């Protein structure tokens, strides 16, 4: 908590209190960034996440709000900016899974709407608000918008169509945003994780252990949050600025078509 505001880049990670989001936040803190985390609640996990960020020498700030509530976006961004300074890197990580996995023909409109409201609508309009703030000033550090989608943006799973549609929509949003910001200094990238070991995948770990052992993932292992974090930091460094709009598959080869 000792770094002077403005001297270090500021990274904002949505859905950052656990899992992939926390791993990304830790990677940025270790790389010399101050870090803002958001999530839907502030609980023991959120406090532990803040402690882990601060232990890496970074200033940290947490804001709890519902990403689906568009009216909360500006308030959250203003609070983060007041606490840490202007945001240089936005990592869109927050998202929810299918409300109910099951037959596509039984998918309920309200469940579809719940998933899209967070994963696509909420992310799109939160990004819009953050980008307007970025464009209103000159950047002191490399700037980027990183959106964590999923291999499900391209690989179909009929039992969770709502989730897949939300991620496919995010992929198209990233492409449009990259074109809109191509002549600025803000890089835009999509990260597509595959099967990643987190507390959210514990319930299906035995299933995927078997599938990975049977060759589903060419790399022969689970992905780890640190795999995503390292890639995010690299993309945000400014070194890949001319590659804006690029999709980076972080899946151990899962999405490569095979015979």
Number of folded domains in the chain? 1
Q: What average pLDDT does the segment 236-247 reach? A: 96
Question: What confidence score (pLDDT) does residue 2 get?
Answer: 36
Output the DSSP codes for 26-43. Answer: HHHHHTT-EEEEEES--S
| Residue appearing with tokens 């579809």 | 112
Query: Quick one: average pLDDT of 227-235?
Result: 98
**Is residue 5, in this structure, part of any structural domain at all?**
no
186: β partners = 143
Is 208 assigned a catalytic role? no
- pLDDT per position as a tens digit, 72-120: 999 999 999 999 999 999 999 999 999 999 999 999 999 999 999 999 9
* Residue 172, pLDDT above cutoff 50: yes
Residue 67 has pLDDT above 50, yes or no: yes
* 179 in any annotated domain: yes
Is residue 4 included in any domain, yes or no? no
Please identify which of the residues 163, 173, 189, 222 carries the catalytic annotation.
163
Pairing of strands 89-92, 143-148: parallel
Give the domain range for residue 17: 10-250
Q: In this structure, is residue 255 part of a structural domain?
A: no
Is residue 93 a part of any domain in this protein? yes
| Cβ neighbours for 228, distance < 8 A, ≥ 6 positions apart | 20, 23, 24, 148, 191, 193, 196, 250
pLDDT at 123: 98
Is the per-residue pLDDT at 166 higher than 80? yes
DSSP 49: H
Residue 259 falls inside a structural domain: no
> Is the torsion defined by CA of 20, 23, 28, 29 positive or negative?
positive
The reply to whether 165 falls in a domain is yes
Q: Is residue 257 part of a domain?
A: no
> Average pLDDT of 201-224?
93
CATH code, 123? 3.40.50.720
């Amino acid at each position: 908590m000792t770094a002077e505001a403005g001297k270090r880049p500021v990274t904002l990670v949505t859905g950052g209190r656990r899992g992939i989001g926390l791993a990304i936040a830790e990677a940025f803190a270790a790389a010399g960034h101050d870090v803002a985390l958001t999530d839907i609640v502030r609980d023991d996990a959120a406090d532990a996440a803040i402690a882990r960020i601060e232990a890496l020498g970074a200033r940290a700030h947490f804001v709890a709000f519902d990403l689906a509530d568009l009216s909360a976006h500006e308030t959250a961004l203003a609070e983060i900016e007041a606490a840490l300074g202007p945001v240089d890197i936005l990592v869109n990580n927050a998202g929810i899974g299918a409300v109910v996995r099951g037959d596509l023909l039984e998918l309920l409109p309200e469940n579809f709407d719940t998933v899209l409201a967070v994963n696509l609508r909420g992310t799109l309009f939160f990004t819009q608000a953050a980008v307007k703030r970025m464009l209103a000033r000159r950047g002191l550090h490399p700037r980027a918008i990183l959106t964590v989608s999923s291999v499900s943006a391209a690989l179909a799973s009929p039992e969770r169509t709502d989730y897949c549609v939300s991620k496919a929509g995010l992929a198209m949003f990233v492409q449009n945003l990259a074109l809109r910001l191509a002549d600025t200094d803000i890089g835009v990238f999509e990260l597509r994780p595959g099967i990643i070991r987190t507390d959210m995948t514990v319930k299906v770990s035995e299933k995927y252990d078997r599938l990975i052992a049977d060759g589903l993932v060419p790399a022969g292992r689970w992905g780890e949050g640190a795999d995503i974090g390292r890639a995010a930091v690299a993309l945000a460094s400014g070194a890949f600025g001319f590659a804006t709009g690029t999709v980076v598959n972080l899946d151990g080869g899962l999405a490569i078509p095979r015979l």
